[in-house]
Structure 1
Amino acid sequence: MTRFSGKNIVITGGTSGIGFAGAKRIISEGGRVAVTGLNLNRLLAASKDLSEQSLVLKNDAALEADIENLAVALEPFGKIDGLWLNAGYAEVGSAESVTAEAFDKIMNANVRGPMLQLARLSQQLNNGASIVVTSSSSTYEGAAMTSLYAATKGALVAMARSWASALAERNIRVNVLIPGPIETNFRHFMPEESRQQFEDFVVSQIPLKRAGTPEEAAAVALFLLSDDSSYVTGSQYAVDGGLVRY
């Protein structure tokens, strides 16, 4: 397949997990990718694994200066045909444990960052480009320990719906990926025992009775980034094994 032949795709948070799986497949389908990340080891590994034409950039979506740096670094890459706003992180805790510091940290990374990235990179998008925003099934689960994280991911859904209306005049499509439990390192911040208990509980609620793979989630994102979804915008696509049936 050559769905991405001649296309330039940018993936924030693309050095591991779903984003990295997507980057490798885009290259295999003829595209060029630019990926961002923060972890030095993953940045180095991505540089080795992706093609020589790829850009691997250290970038923190929570920092305003890094948003400008990203735009400048992407100028030689050329006009952007696909922008996948995938970077983010999670923390869990009770509603009573939320602090102003924790609120600001996760909101800056998961909401402020994508909002400002879109604002800055919009001028570098080709007319007819596609934008994919990674939210989470946590938005709809109502889990007791994820109120702050779920709030950030719900905000992304609202942002994307407005972007779909605002950018339609340029024929730019905006859609949301809603991953459920995916086998990635995303919950690395949790102690091993707690993480395993949490994941076992969540998987027990899934009709398909298993977690998804990064490749399965990336496949849906790539459908949305490609011309195969040319009449799809303002939509949400759940990749969650049936966990959230809305």
Structure 2
Amino acid sequence: MNTFNNKLAVVTGGNSGIGYATAKELISEGAKVIITGRRKEAVEKAAEELGAIPFVADQGKLEEIESLKTEVEKQYGKVDILFINAGITGNLGSIENMTAENFDNVMNINFRGAYFTLSKFIPILNDGASVVFLSSNVATTYRPNSSVYQSSKAALNSIAKTAAAELAPRKIRVNMVSPGPTKTEIMSKAGLDEATLSGLNEWMISQIPLKKIGTSEDVAKAVIYLSDNNIASFMTGTEIIIDGGMIL
């Protein structure tokens, strides 16, 4: 059953991890999928593997978001599904020792970039479209040494709910998926070595009632659910937390 036949989906940060898994699910359900990323080789390689359409665009740069929107509209017209997924953890550290450079880098991509991706795409969203933001369960936790990342996701949730209210007259639904620990490359990109990563994984599993770390596919299935107008038509401004009970 091809749920998304004749639908156009855009997945930011679609060349790896949750974005890649979601693009794969969307394609399997019949959607035409555009994936974006900052690295040309990685985006083109992922697109070839998936059968997706590659666009090189850095969510942290407003001019590239504008170019992406312009090209998508010119080549493909209106968008039915927008998954704003691109994000980074940045460097961990205390508030006292946080650098302005790290703060700006994380906020530029996770919050400012996500905000303006939605802003620029609103005019080319079909009425009845679905928008999903990749948030995180840390948006409602306050653990030491993660203040910037946590703040970026809390701000994202606030904007998603405001957007849900603003876009409701056009029947555009805006929702969030908030994973807990998930097997992706993002932690290794935070500059952690193998020993630290292994210790962190063990600690995270000890904090999760279901005693396992989630997968990208777990999150992708939630995005698919929220994007389906047949089964999630009455859901907007909703956050689905996928963390094995970690925030209980």
TM-score range, shorter chain: over 0.9
| Counterpart position of 2:149 | 149
Is residue 20 from structure 1 mapped to residue 23 from structure 2 by the alignment? no
Distance in 1, Cα, partners of 2:88 & 2:204: 18
CA drift of 1:44 comes to: 2.9
Aligned to 1:83: 82
Confirm whether residue 235 of structure 1 aligns to residue 238 of structure 2.
yes
The gaps in structure 1 that reach 5 residues or longer are: none
Partner of 2:225: 223
Is 1:66 the counterpart of 2:64? The answer is yes
Q: Secondary structure in 2 aligned to 1:229?
A: coil
Residue 33 of structure 1 corresponds to: 33
Matches within 5 A, 1:55-204: 55-75=53-73, 76-91=75-90, 92-188=92-188, 189=190, 190-204=192-206
Return the offset for 1:103. 1.2
Query: Tell me, what secondary structure is at the counterpart of 1:95?
Result: coil
TM-score by length of 1: 0.95
Determine the C-alpha separation between the residues in 1 that align with 2:103 and 2:47.
Answer: 33
Q: Deviations over 1:188-240 (max 9, x none)?
A: 12222222212211111101100011111100011011112111001100011
RMSD: 1.1
Gaps of 5+ in 2: none
Paired amino acid for 2:137: S
- Partners of 2:226 and 2:128 lie apart in 1 by 13
> What's the TM-score once normalised by structure 2's chain length?
0.95
Seq. identity, %: 38
Contact 2:137 2:247 in 1 (8 A): yes
Deviation at 1:42, TM superposition (A): 2.3
* Stretches (4+) displaced over 2 A: 39-42
Secondary structure at 1:133 match in 2: strand
Q: CA offsets, 1:126-162, max 9 Å, x none?
A: 0000100011111223221211100000000000000
Q: Give distance in 1, aligned partners of 2:69 and 2:173.
A: 20
